[in-house]
Every structure is written in structure tokens, then in C-alpha cells.
Chain A
Amino acid sequence: MHTDLALAERCRANAPEAFEELYRAHAPRLFGLACRLVGRADAEDLLQEIFLAAHRRLGSYRGEAALGTWLFRLATNCCLDHLRSRAGRRAALTDELHDEPDATGSQAGPILGVVDRLDLERALADLPPGARAVFVLHDVEGFEHREIAELLGVAEGTSKSQLHRARLRLRRVLGRSAPAAAETF
């Protein structure tokens, strides 16, 4: 934490190389987050916005959390704002979260083989934005449902049900055979 504060202070003082050091340390993780939440096509521009916002707001960083956590929270909010603005309305991230899950699986035993990383990334990109956000934040990034609910402006139970449906959708898409019934979003 002491190192984080020192780096933040060097950035605030416009010390040479300090902000680039911050970028090199944290940008890969934030870029992964942005790619998964908003798609690769928008992620590069969004990452620029994230670091510009970070540069402007470093004055408010007091070291309560690790600098990486502070940046990640900022990046998450930027990504979700981007999704909302792209959809044109705030409710867009929650509209698709209200259907009841329709779990599938009349087939005995697992239907997934070894899941390839690229296949999973592609299937993830095809999820609706709200379900994708919940899956990425919970299963990829390790957020709690309480935090996700707060970020998305939905009930905690909605986050849980959406995660379940997202997992079932991925299972179906990635499965060796697709069951007839499908979950709905």
C-alpha cells in the first residue's frame, strides 16, 4: 500500500515515467476486463478513457484500497457506463435479467469436454450484455453478488439468477451436444 501511495503521489506530481509505470502494471488486466465487457472493437478506445480518467482522479486516491483495486473499480464503472450509453438507456443492462431460468439437461453426465480458452471467450462475447457483465464480474473477476448488484443497479437475487442463466447458456453453446431446451435471458 505504501508503494501504491508513493506511485500515486509521483503520478500526481507528474514525475517522469510514473504514469507509464502505473499503466504497464495494471493495463493488461483492465484491457482484459474491457474486452470481455464491451468487446475488443471498443476496448482500445475505452482503455484510453479509463487511464485518462484515472489521471484526472488520482488526486482523490487516499490509499484506502490497493491502487489496482481502485483502478479496477474505475475501469468497471467506465465499461458499464459505456454499455449503458451504447444501449441508449440505463435499464438496458437489466431488461434482460427478469426471465425465469429454464435449466436444461435431460442428458446424463457432463456435456462439456475440456473447455478451450478461445472458445470460452467467443461464447462469452455472444452473451447478452447484462448476463455477460454478471458472468465476467463474478466468475472471471471474483466480485461478490452484492457488489455486482450495486454496480449494475439490480437486486442481488437478480445477479444470482442472471449468473445461473449465463452459465447454462455457455454450457449449451460449448457443449458437445446442445440440449433441445434452452435457457432464456
Chain B
Amino acid sequence: MRTCSDVQRDLSRYVDDDLPPDDQAAIAQHLASCEVCRGIEADLRQLRARARTLGPMPLPGHLWSKIADRLRMENVDASAEVVEVRSWPMSWSHRSWLWLGLAATLVVIALGAYIAPSLSRRAPAAVTPDNATRAVSVQDVTDELDQALEHYGRAVAGLETLAREDGASMDPAVSAALQTNLTAIDRAIAESRTALIDQPQSASARASLTDALRQKVDVLQTTVALVNDLRRENEDDAADAAKKLGKQS
């Protein structure tokens, strides 16, 4: 036989029908003969029912304009933050990011297709003095690098054609940023090539070439990741990519 204290302890669960059937039945039996517990049960049911009617609240009229203002400010701040991290000019429209992402992807694909196979075949020779003399000639490396340069040049030219056909001119800021990217890549390639020409049998020179190219590819891959994260508005990953970019540059 349940006491009033036992029953009252479980009354909320009882009115929520949250007890095992046997317990529900035992409490119902107690309530049938106990006016005190029945009074509490009735009050709990009324409170629960009344709470369900507490719905939405009228909005202060000025609230939307505040939110709209902050959204505008946040959009500006977000653009400024990206420019600061990457040292790229101006702000970026959403469409601009799409073009930049596509362009950077094409550059990476071009480098990956033409440089990475070369590196994978020759990098071990570059870092191992013992087999340096068996390495391919400087001309071989130069030829492949030239092909890579030509390829990503075509990719960017094709991208610009697509932009014109689509009726949209490429954002000047994007063009400038792309040029910055390509210039950095060209400089890295030129420096590496010069070092290799000066010291064709030098393992350290070959290692420098490898490192320079890989570093630039890493930067571009991180850039692509950042662009894609921003497109998906994946802030956390974008922030990580931005930090990584900051360390790489």
C-alpha cells in the first residue's frame, strides 16, 4: 500500500504518463480514495496544461532593424578579416569567391598533374646524395615545369572566357588576387629553377626545388580549402584554413 508521500513523489511522472503501467495503476487506485493527493494531481495537470498555452511573445518593433544592421556590419567585418589574413586586396563578393575557388582549383590541378608526378619520380633522387648522379637532367625538369606553366595559363584563360560567356565580368579584386597567386608561383618556380641550373648535381638544390614547389602547392591547396569552407559557410574550418594560410605565407 502506497503512502501519500510515495504517491506525491511520483505525481508529476503520473500526470505525464511516465511510470510503468503497474505504478500508474497503483497511484490511480490511491488517488481514488485520497482527496489530498487528488488535489495536487489536479493542480499539476492544470499547471501543465496552462504552460502549454504560453506561446510566442510579441516582438519589439525595432529588433529587426538592429539585426539587419549587425548583419551588414558582420558581412563587412568578415570580408575585412579574410583580406587581412591573406593580404589580398578589397572585399570579396560571394560570386567572386566562386570564381577564385574555381581558378585556384584549376591551378592546383594543373600543378598536380604536371609537377607532382615529376616530383614523385625525382624527389627521392634529389634528397639522396648517393643517387644524385642518376637523376634526370635539368632540362627534363625545366620542360615539365614549362608545360605546367603553360597548362595553368590555359586554365585561367579558359576561366576568363567562361566568365565573359556567362555575361559576368570577373571582379577586378579577384583578377588581382589571382595575379598575386600566379606571380608567387612563378617566382617560386623561377628561384628553384635558377638554383638547380647553378648546381645541377646538388642534392640540396634539388631538395630546395622540391620544397619550394610543394610549399606553393600546399598554399594553394589550403587556399582552395578556405574558399570551399567559405562557400559552405563552414566558419570553423575556414578559420583553421585561414590560420594555416597565415603560417604558410
A residues lining the B interface (CB < 8 Å): 12-14, 19-20, 23-24, 27-29, 31-32, 35-36, 44, 47-48, 51-52, 55-60, 101, 103-112, 115, 117, 120-121, 135, 139-140, 142, 145, 160, 163-164, 167, 170-171, 174-175
Q: Which of B35, B40, B51 contacts A135 (CB 8 A)?
A: B51
Can you spell out 27 A-B residue pairs with CB atoms less than 8 angstroms apart? A27-B59, A28-B59, A31-B57, A31-B59, A32-B54, A44-B63, A59-B234, A60-B232, A101-B9, A105-B8, A105-B36, A105-B37, A109-B36, A109-B39, A110-B40, A112-B47, A115-B46, A115-B47, A117-B53, A135-B51, A140-B52, A160-B12, A160-B18, A170-B47, A171-B44, A171-B47, A175-B43
- A104 proximity list for chain B (CB < 8 A): 40
A117 to B43, CA, bound (A): 15
Known: A160-B13, A164-B13. 16 other contacts (CB 8 A): A19-B71, A23-B67, A24-B64, A28-B57, A29-B55, A32-B56, A47-B63, A52-B67, A103-B8, A103-B40, A105-B8, A111-B43, A112-B47, A117-B50, A117-B54, A174-B47
Contacting pair B5 A103 (CB below 8 A): yes
A23 to B71, CA, bound (A): 13
- A107 proximity list for chain B (CB < 8 A): 36, 39
The closest CB in chain A to the CB of B40 belongs to A105
Against A, the Cβ 8 Å flags (1 = close, 0 = not) of B37-78 are 111101110111011111111111001101110110010000
Q: Whole-angstrom distance from the CB of A8 to the nearest CB of chain B?
A: 11
A65 to B47, CA, bound (A): 30
B47, B58, B74, most chain A CB atoms within 10 A: B47
The closest CB in chain A to the CB of B94 belongs to A14
The closest CB in chain B to the CB of A19 belongs to B71
The closest CB in chain A to the CB of B60 belongs to A44
Main secondary structure of the interface of B (DSSP, over half): helix
A13, A23, A112, most chain B CB atoms within 10 A: A112
Main secondary structure of the interface of A (DSSP, over half): helix
Contacting pair B71 A109 (CB below 8 A): no
With known contacts A28-B58, A32-B55, A109–B47 Cβ distance under 8 A: no
B residues lining the A interface (CB < 8 Å): 5, 8-9, 11-13, 18, 35-40, 42-44, 46-48, 50-60, 63-64, 66-68, 70-71, 74, 94, 232-235
Contacting pair B63 A139 (CB below 8 A): no
A20 to B67, CA, bound (A): 9
Q: Whole-angstrom distance from the CB of A51 to the nearest CB of chain B?
A: 5
B5, B57, B94, most chain A CB atoms within 10 A: B57
Q: Whole-angstrom distance from the CB of A56 to the nearest CB of chain B?
A: 6
- B60 proximity list for chain A (CB < 8 A): 44
Contacting pair A112 B59 (CB below 8 A): no
The closest CB in chain B to the CB of A45 belongs to B66
Contacting pair B51 A139 (CB below 8 A): yes
Contacting pair A164 B12 (CB below 8 A): yes
With known contacts A110-B43, A139-B48, A140-B51, A52–B71 Cβ distance under 8 A: yes
Contacting pair B233 A59 (CB below 8 A): yes
A109 to B55, CA, bound (A): 29
Q: Whole-angstrom distance from the CB of A176 to the nearest CB of chain B?
A: 10
- B71 proximity list for chain A (CB < 8 A): 19, 52, 55
A142 to B48, CA, bound (A): 10
Q: Whole-angstrom distance from the CB of B154 to the nearest CB of chain A?
A: 31
- A120 proximity list for chain B (CB < 8 A): 47, 50-51, 54
Contacting pair A115 B54 (CB below 8 A): no
- B56 proximity list for chain A (CB < 8 A): 28-29, 31-32
Contacting pair A35 B57 (CB below 8 A): yes
A12 to B181, CA, bound (A): 28
Contacting pair B54 A140 (CB below 8 A): yes
The closest CB in chain B to the CB of A162 belongs to B12
Q: Whole-angstrom distance from the CB of A126 to the nearest CB of chain B?
A: 15
Q: Whole-angstrom distance from the CB of A177 to the nearest CB of chain B?
A: 12
B53, B63, B74, most chain A CB atoms within 10 A: B63
